[in-house]
Amino acid sequence: GKKAKTYMDQGLLVPDELTCDLVVDRIQQDDAKNGYVLDGFPRTIPQAECLTAALEKLGSKIDYAIDVDVPDDNIVNRMSGRRACLKCGATYHIVYAAPKVENVCDTCGENLVLRDDDKPETVSKRLKVYHEQTQPLIDYYTKQGVLKTVDGTAALDKVFQAIVEILGE
């Protein structure tokens, strides 16, 4: 963790091998012995290959990779609708979880802001990186026979239920 912090404190990406080592160390802890869910990892083919190799050494493998499929325009709309209170940290969405008074935090009364990373142009850039680096994982895990796809445009409870059903297989 300290090695990763050194990179992060400098605003650098943590190298894939170090990230993989941290994840593999974590999933070997007692509280993960009956299973675990990785969210946001792996993000690239090198990370996936590192994870696969490390798990093989441990006599293990990925059971499922779940792709929560949401069209880009939905993602941009969802993220650009988020609002945050910089004072207390509360979050809202102008459509799905609006504050009682427009642009005012229900908790502390401060004005809500659109965070820089939720601005449409920033979200679009992040999606570009996703399509370049992360989208190839769909093919990678399809070839391994472990990819499951869930409709991420469904209601939140339906998405959750679909994931629970996959994990229960």
User: 1 vs 143, which has greater pLDDT?
Assistant: 143
pLDDT at 104: 98
> What average pLDDT score do residues 89-111 get?
97
Tell me which amino acid residue 136 is.
Answer: P
Predicted structure pTM score: 0.80
pLDDT at 29: 96
pLDDT at 8: 78
111-139: pLDDT as tens digits: 999 999 999 999 999 899 889 888 999 99
> What average pLDDT score do residues 71-100 get?
96
> What average pLDDT score do residues 77-87 get?
96
Q: Over 80: is that where the pLDDT of 11 sits?
A: no
Give the single-character DSSP code of 158. Answer: H
Do residues 68 and 75 touch, judged by C-beta distance below 8 A?
Answer: no
Domain boundaries, the chain: 1-62
CA distance 91 to 89: 6
The pair of three-digit structure tokens given for residue 20, joined into one six-digit string = 């993989």
> What average pLDDT score do residues 58-77 get?
96
Tell me which amino acid residue 64 is.
Answer: Y
Query: Of 70, 59, 19, 25, which Cα lies nearest the Cα of 40?
Result: 19
Q: What number of CA atoms fall less than 13 Å from residue 37's CA on the CB side? A: 8
Share above pLDDT 90 across residues of the chain, in percent, rounded to a whole number: 83
pLDDT at 129: 86
Q: Is 48 exposed, middle or buried (0-12, 13-18, 19+ CB in 10 A)?
A: buried
pLDDT at 12: 74
pLDDT at 25: 94
pLDDT at 53: 96
